[in-house]
């Protein structure tokens, strides 16, 4: 509200909250840092887990940064930006979500120190942008080229990404599954590999142990055979994929059929039966002994299919149909009449099996399947969910290396190298930006420091030791949290795709810069609460 010649001018509605200048920056930085602190304890092999309970009482237990932030009901707009950092990291690199958020939080903490010294946000932003750009160059320099055909390297990266998650007891076994799955679906395009993760299907079933998780070279479908008279097991399967209902079609427009005598009714029913039999005859004629139908199958059609010993499954999801096509080499046919023997796919075995008391269809033994399924087992629902998250991360990490062919040491080694090199770079830049670049470098040390803290070690002592060893022995020296000493992470097999570290620094610096740019927050009043409570924004209240 402003005064104009004694008249009040109302610009914003009642109940609006506004924070300007340092207040806005302080609140935004605080909110973002709280988010970073929340996930910080989950970082590394010795990180702890979080239990999240939603409004319905559903429980999620995880230490996956992206999952934690996704499950939290976050209100503050600056805090929501940190959630976006984790989501972007998960989408682009697949792993390192916690790293990205922790770095973003530390960058903001270091920026606040500069703002308290009356350094203008624009200078901090410029310094951070220079540092982030230089960091990408340094990472390209220290990244090591690897042979993407080398399964051992891929396995080490997968093991590194699984370590610290609930499934780590079986990390070697799960890493092998992840590597095998990615190598199976990888396709060479113009000399480089491309991996479409949609071709790796995760199917979860409680029961058994994590060790019972396995890779199926084909597709597992959570459906059952439609008719009890059909075979439950077909060897040497010839598979037809039909995107049409095996039913008598209804007319497109509203139509009325007038039947005036029993003979006409009989003829009508016989015609329907004939049409259905012809459909089934066509399937049998081309040599198919297994049929997957995206839509429904009429009872009569089921009867004929069972009579001819054809295994049929109905209402199969479109995504599963596409995976079946990729795995078996079959073509999806929209009209049964167009079906030919060339359209059929092949599999050594199609079988209905009971998994955890439920029927599932296994399509196995495909020649060179470009779609595979990982059947995940575990003692409880929470274990199965966490194994799935661990495997998803592992699969994405292997994909990154297969596509890029570049790795870096993990365990805080790249962050220490960046901190040392950016300190030198800051001196070259000079001016007030030098301070911002030095603070950026200092912020990156939060990763090795947090790894040490989460392992119950003295972070300052470890950091001093690791930096000294790093300067002496090179950029692969990081924190060995099991021994509590500096160690060469490459030798230990603790490695990560360079894409993970590059994306983490890119996402973190961009988010920090965006939050630092904000100097005015105008929060509209909330709508009246359902329980007759007062309106008014709670922009600041969730920080109290």
Residue (of 438, 486, 478, 409) closest to 142 by Cα position:
409
**The pairing of beta strand 17-20 with beta strand 50-53:** unpaired
Q: Is 36 in the same domain as 137?
A: yes
Active site residue ranges: 64, 97-98, 393
Task: Report the domain count for the chain.
Answer: 3
In tens digits, the chain (544 residues) has pLDDT values of: 555 556 776 676 776 777 777 778 788 888 888 888 888 898 888 888 889 888 888 888 888 778 888 888 888 888 888 888 888 888 888 888 889 999 999 999 999 998 888 888 899 999 999 999 999 999 999 888 888 788 888 888 888 888 877 677 788 888 899 998 998 888 888 878 888 888 898 988 888 888 888 888 888 888 888 888 888 888 888 888 988 887 776 656 777 777 778 887 787 777 777 788 888 888 888 888 888 988 888 888 888 888 888 898 889 988 889 888 888 888 888 888 888 888 888 888 888 888 878 888 898 888 878 888 899 988 888 888 888 888 888 898 898 888 888 888 888 889 999 999 998 898 888 888 899 999 999 999 999 999 999 888 888 998 899 899 888 888 888 888 888 888 888 888 888 889 999 999 999 999 999 988 887 777 776 655 444 444 444 555 444 4
**The pairing of beta strand 144-145 with beta strand 192-194:** unpaired
Contact assessment for residue 14 and residue 515, using Cβ atoms and an 8 Å cutoff? no
Contact assessment for residue 222 and residue 320, using Cβ atoms and an 8 Å cutoff? no
| Sequence-ordered list of residues with C-beta below 8 angstroms from that of 131, at least 6 positions apart, any chain | 422, 425, 426, 436, 437, 440, 441, 509
Looking at residue 2, what is its pLDDT? 54
Of all helices (H) and strands (E), which one includes residue 26?
helix 22-40
Residue 93: give its domain's CATH number.
Answer: 1.10.560.10
Q: Is 279 in the same domain as 376?
A: no
End-to-end CA distance of the chain: 26
| Residue 7 is assigned to a structural domain of this protein | no
Looking at residue 368, what is its pLDDT? 79
DSSP H helices in 49-191 = 65-71, 77-92, 97-116, 121-142, 151-162, 171-185
Q: Is 450 in the same domain as 462?
A: yes
Q: Is 105 in the same domain as 170?
A: no
Residue (of 216, 275, 280, 277) closest to 242 by Cα position:
280
Say what the pTM is: 0.81
Contact assessment for residue 108 and residue 512, using Cβ atoms and an 8 Å cutoff? yes
Give the C-alpha separation, 490 to 358, whole Å. Answer: 44
Q: Is 55 in the same domain as 103?
A: yes
| Residue 1 is assigned to a structural domain of this protein | no
Q: Is 27 in the same domain as 117?
A: yes
Instruction: Write down which residue in 343, 378, 404 finishes a domain.
Output: 404
Looking at residue 250, what is its pLDDT? 64
Distances (CA, A) of 221 to 61, 211, 214, 329, 358: 27, 21, 15, 17, 11
Residue 183: give its domain's CATH number.
Answer: 3.30.260.10
Residue 336: give its domain's CATH number.
Answer: 3.50.7.10
Looking at residue 211, what is its pLDDT? 87
Looking at residue 296, what is its pLDDT? 85
Contact assessment for residue 179 and residue 158, using Cβ atoms and an 8 Å cutoff? yes
Q: What is the DSSP letter of 168?
A: G
CA–chain centroid gap for 480, Å, is 27
In the structure encoding, which two tokens stand for residue 331, read together? 């073509």
Looking at residue 6, what is its pLDDT? 62
Q: Is 136 in the same domain as 176?
A: no
| Residue 387 is assigned to a structural domain of this protein | yes
| Residue 530 is assigned to a structural domain of this protein | no
| Residue 60 is assigned to a structural domain of this protein | yes
| Residue 206 is assigned to a structural domain of this protein | yes
Burial class (CB in 10 A: 0-12, 13-18, 19+), 312: buried
Q: Is 203 in the same domain as 309?
A: no
Looking at residue 526, what is its pLDDT? 66
Q: Is 231 in the same domain as 205?
A: no
Give the C-alpha separation, 38 to 72, whole Å. Answer: 11
Q: Is 111 in the same domain as 183?
A: no
Instruction: Write down which residue in 326, 359, 392 finishes a domain.
Output: 359
Q: Is 213 in the same domain as 228?
A: no
Q: What is the DSSP letter of 199?
A: G
Q: Compute the chain's Rg from CA coordinates.
A: 30
Give the C-alpha separation, 221 to 321, whole Å. Answer: 10
Structural domain span for residue 306:
221-359
| Residue 153: CB atoms within 10 Å | 20
| Residue 470: CB atoms within 10 Å | 22
Give the C-alpha separation, 33 to 50, whole Å. Answer: 18
Contact assessment for residue 412 and residue 427, using Cβ atoms and an 8 Å cutoff? no
Give the C-alpha separation, 117 to 404, whole Å. Answer: 42
Q: Is 233 in the same domain as 343?
A: yes
| Residue 286 is assigned to a structural domain of this protein | yes
Contact assessment for residue 231 and residue 404, using Cβ atoms and an 8 Å cutoff? no
E strands present in 379-419? 406-409
Helix (H, G, I), strand (E, B) or coil at 207: strand
| Residue 283 is assigned to a structural domain of this protein | yes
């Amino acid at each position: 509200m402003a005064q104009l010649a004694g008249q009040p001018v109302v610009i914003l509605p009642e109940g609006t909250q506004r924070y300007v200048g340092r207040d806005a920056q302080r609140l935004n930085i605080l909110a973002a840092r709280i988010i970073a602190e929340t996930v910080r304890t989950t970082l590394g092999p010795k990180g702890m887990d979080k239990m999240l309970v939603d409004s319905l009482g559903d429980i999620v237990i995880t230490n996956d940064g992206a999952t934690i932030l996704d499950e939290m009901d976050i209100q503050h707009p600056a805090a929501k930006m940190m959630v976006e950092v984790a989501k972007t990291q998960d989408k682009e690199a697949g792993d390192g979500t916690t790293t990205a958020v922790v770095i973003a939080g530390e960058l903001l903490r270091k920026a606040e120190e500069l703002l308290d010294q009356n350094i203008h946000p624009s200078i901090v932003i410029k310094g951070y942008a220079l540092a982030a750009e230089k960091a990408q160059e340094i990472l390209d320099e220290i990244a090591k080229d690897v042979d993407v055909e080398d399964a051992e390297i891929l396995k080490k990266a997968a093991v590194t990404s699984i370590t610290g998650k609930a499934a780590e007891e079986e990390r070697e076994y799960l890493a092998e599954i992840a590597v095998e799955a990615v190598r199976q679906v990888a396709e060479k395009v113009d000399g480089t590999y491309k991996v479409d993760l949609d071709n790796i299907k995760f199917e979860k079933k409680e029961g058994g142990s994590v060790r019972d998780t396995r890779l199926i070279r084909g597709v597992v479908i959570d459906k059952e055979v439609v008719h009890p008279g059909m075979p439950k097991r077909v060897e040497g399967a010839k598979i037809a994929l039909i995107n049409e209902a095996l039913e008598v079609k209804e007319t497109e427009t509203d139509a009325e059929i007038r039947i005036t005598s029993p003979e006409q009714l009989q003829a009508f029913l016989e015609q329907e039966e004939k049409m259905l039999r012809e459909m089934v005859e066509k399937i049998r004629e081309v040599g198919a002994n297994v049929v997957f139908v995206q839509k429904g199958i009429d009872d009569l059609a089921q009867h004929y299919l069972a009579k001819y010993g054809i295994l049929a499954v109905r209402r199969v999801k479109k995504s599963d149909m596409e995976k079946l096509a990729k795995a078996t080499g079959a073509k999806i046919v929209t009209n049964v009449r167009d079906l030919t023997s060339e359209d059929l796919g092949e599999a050594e075995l199609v079988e209905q099996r009971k998994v955890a008391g439920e029927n599932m269809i296994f399509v196995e033994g495909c020649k060179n399947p470009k779609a595979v399924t990982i059947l995940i087992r575990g003692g409880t629902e929470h274990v199965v969910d966490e194994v799935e998250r661990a495997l998803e991360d592992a699969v994405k990490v292997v994909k990154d290396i297969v596509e890029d062919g570049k790795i870096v040491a993990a365990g805080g080694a790249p962050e220490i190298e960046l901190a040392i090199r950016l300190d030198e770079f800051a001196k070259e830049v000079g001016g007030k930006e030098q301070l911002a670049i030095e603070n950026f470098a200092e912020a990156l040390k939060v990763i090795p420091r947090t790894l040490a803290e989460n392992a119950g070690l003295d972070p300052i002592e470890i950091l001093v030791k690791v930096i000294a060893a790093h300067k002496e022995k090179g950029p692969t020296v990081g924190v060995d949290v099991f021994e509590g000493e500096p160690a060469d992470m490459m030798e230990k097999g603790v490695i990560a795709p360079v894409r993970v570290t590059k994306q983490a620094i890119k996402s973190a610096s961009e988010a920090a810069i965006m939050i630092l740019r904000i100097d005015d927050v105008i929060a509209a009043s909330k709508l009246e609460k359902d329980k007759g409570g007062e309106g008014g924004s709670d922009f600041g209240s969730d920080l109290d």
